[in-house]
């Protein structure tokens, strides 16, 4: 089987790395050859996270490259599309593929449709507000990372929708014993784009960090200004992220309850749990599905909830151990590539068989 992967980013992009690239060795071992064609290279994301202006000429060249790949798409058994083929353009490319009978699978780990249907400019909402619905409805299969995305796909009229969570590779995520050090580390991992979710829980962080032995460790956030909160900021790297998480005592995922947040797939929670770390998160989107409150972590709505949960874990080493073990077991059963990769292979084969 030959598949053309139209990913959004190269390996630096988390969505591309986790939703497609990490599966490539398994797919190859099972007779599925994937030709990778990212839309945007690493420099685009580096500039984005650094706050630099987008290079429109480079974006234009990226679009031209993608159109060139599409011309040869009929030589593949299947197209594997991350989100959409051409961002900020109508679904013309997807319409042409459907007209020519070339099957494509489209994958979502974010509520990308809200980028268009909730855009502040009326012209964008008018021209592109239903674009992703059209992409979904013409796909041979829509793969989603949570129920919120699945509901949208079904409402759009997708012919088939399958759930595939964003997962980790157990071979990379080893567990290490919890530290009994008096230095208590509240950990968060993400990108500068998601660091904004830390600010609403600022009062809670101030309260829990009044203890001189408590600090907030941020991985990949970039510069974050949280006065009166003892903070350590570390750069993100694919090669050090697991070790960074292993140094946490508890992992957090604060979120505001808004449409975009409801489409998130909770990957950082799965990372924490894979390292056998207890978690505390806002009960938004997929979090209540991943977290069993009081078993592998806590759900926290108010500042008081956050303070109580983090302080309870700080006081009780055995509670951290117990919740961490429960989290790891859940990841091993539901949220690892060892479970999801065989399912992905089956989905590819079923779609190709249907269109032969």
pLDDT of the residue at 127? 96
pLDDT of the residue at 46? 75
349 and 264 in a single domain? The answer is no
Residue 184 neighbours by CB distance under 10 Å: 21
pLDDT of the residue at 197? 93
Residue ranges making up the domain that contains 33: 2-167+337-355
CATH of the domain at 8: 3.40.50.2000
Q: Nearest-CA neighbor of 250 among 324, 159, 329, 163? A: 324
CA dist 115 → 1, 111, 138, 243, 328 (Å): 34, 8, 20, 34, 34
82 and 11 in a single domain? The answer is yes
Backbone CA torsion sign across 134, 135, 140, 144: negative
pLDDT of the residue at 245? 96
154 and 214 in a single domain? The answer is no
31 and 163 in a single domain? The answer is yes
78-82 and 279-281: which strand pairing?
unpaired
**Rounded CA separation 293/128 (Å):** 39
214-219: strand order across its sheet:
231-234, 214-219, 184-189, 250-253, 279-281, 297-299
Both structure tokens of 32: 């599925």
CB 198 within 8 A of CB 229: no
CA dist 310 → 233, 306, 320 (Å): 19, 6, 10
Backbone CA torsion sign across 105, 108, 114, 119: negative
Evaluate whether residue 179 is within a structural domain. Answer: no
CA dist 5 → 35, 81, 160, 249, 311 (Å): 6, 6, 19, 38, 45
Both structure tokens of 102: 């070339």
Evaluate whether residue 172 is within a structural domain. Answer: no
Query: In sequence order, what DSSP letters do the residues of 212-269 get, joined into one string?
Result: TTEEEEEES--S---TTS-EEEE---TTTHHHHHHT-SEEEE----SHHHHT---HHH
78-82: strand order across its sheet:
33-36, 2-6, 78-82, 104-108, 141-144, 161-163
Evaluate whether residue 175 is within a structural domain. Answer: no
Query: In sequence order, what DSSP letters do the residues of 79-141 get, joined into one string?
Result: EEEES-SSTTS-THHHHHHHHHT--EEEEESS-TTHHHHT-SSHHHHHHHTTHHHHHHHHSSE
Q: Nearest-CA neighbor of 142 among 317, 347, 354? A: 347
9 and 138 in a single domain? The answer is yes
pLDDT of the residue at 140? 96
Evaluate whether residue 146 is within a structural domain. Answer: yes
pTM, two decimals, is: 0.92
Evaluate whether residue 257 is within a structural domain. Answer: yes
Evaluate whether residue 190 is within a structural domain. Answer: yes
Evaluate whether residue 118 is within a structural domain. Answer: yes
Evaluate whether residue 173 is within a structural domain. Answer: no
209 and 267 in a single domain? The answer is yes
Please count the residues of the chain: 356
pLDDT of the residue at 50? 66
162 and 18 in a single domain? The answer is yes
Q: What are phi and psi of 231, to 5 degrees?
A: -125, 140
Side-chain half-sphere of 73: how many Cα atoms within 13 Å? 26
314 and 231 in a single domain? The answer is yes
193 and 161 in a single domain? The answer is no
109 and 237 in a single domain? The answer is no
Spell out, as residue ranges, where the chain has pLDDT lower than 50: none
**Domains in the chain, number:** 2
305 and 344 in a single domain? The answer is no
CB 111 within 8 A of CB 148: yes
58 and 194 in a single domain? The answer is no
């Amino acid at each position: 089987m030959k598949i053309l992967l139209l990913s959004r980013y190269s390996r630096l992009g988390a969505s591309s790395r986790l939703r497609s690239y990490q599966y490539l060795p398994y797919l190859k071992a099972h007779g599925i050859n994937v030709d990778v064609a990212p839309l945007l290279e690493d420099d685009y994301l580096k500039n984005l996270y650094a706050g630099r202006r987008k290079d429109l000429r480079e974006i234009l060249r990226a679009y031209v490259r993608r159109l060139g790949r599409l011309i040869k798409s009929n030589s593949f058994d299947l197209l594997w599309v991350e989100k959409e083929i051409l961002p900020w353009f109508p679904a013309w490319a997807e319409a042409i593929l459907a007209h020519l009978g070339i099957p494509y699978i489209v994958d979502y780990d974010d509520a990308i449709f809200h980028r268009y249907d909730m855009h502040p400019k009326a012209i964008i909402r008018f021209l592109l507000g239903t674009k992703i619905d059209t992409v979904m409805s013409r796909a041979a299969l829509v793969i989603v990372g949570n129920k919120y995305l699945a509901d949208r796909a079904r409402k759009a009229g997708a012919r088939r929708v399958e759930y595939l969570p964003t997962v980790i590779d157990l071979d990379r995520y080893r567990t290490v014993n919890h530290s009994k050090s008096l230095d208590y580390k509240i950990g968060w991992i993400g990108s500068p784009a998601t660091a904004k979710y830390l600010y609403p829980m600022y009062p809670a962080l101030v309260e829990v960090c009044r203890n001189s032995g408590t600090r907030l460790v941020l991985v990949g956030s970039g510069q974050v200004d949280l006065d009166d909160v003892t903070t350590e900021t570390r750069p993100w790297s694919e090669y050090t992220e697991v070790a960074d998480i292993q140094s946490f005592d508890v992992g957090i995922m604060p979120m505001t309850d808004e449409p975009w947040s409801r489409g998130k797939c909770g990957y950082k929670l799965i990372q924490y749990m894979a390292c056998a770390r207890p978690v505390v998160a806002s009960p938004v989107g997929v979090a209540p599905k991943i977290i069993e409150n009081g078993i592998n972590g806590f759900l926290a709505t108010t500042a008081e909830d956050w303070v109580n949960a983090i302080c309870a874990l700080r006081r009780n080493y055995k509670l951290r151990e117990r919740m961490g073990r429960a989290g790891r077991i859940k990841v091993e059963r539901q949220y690892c590539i060892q479970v999801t990769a065989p399912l992905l292979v089956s989905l590819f084969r079923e779609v190709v068989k249907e269109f032969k």
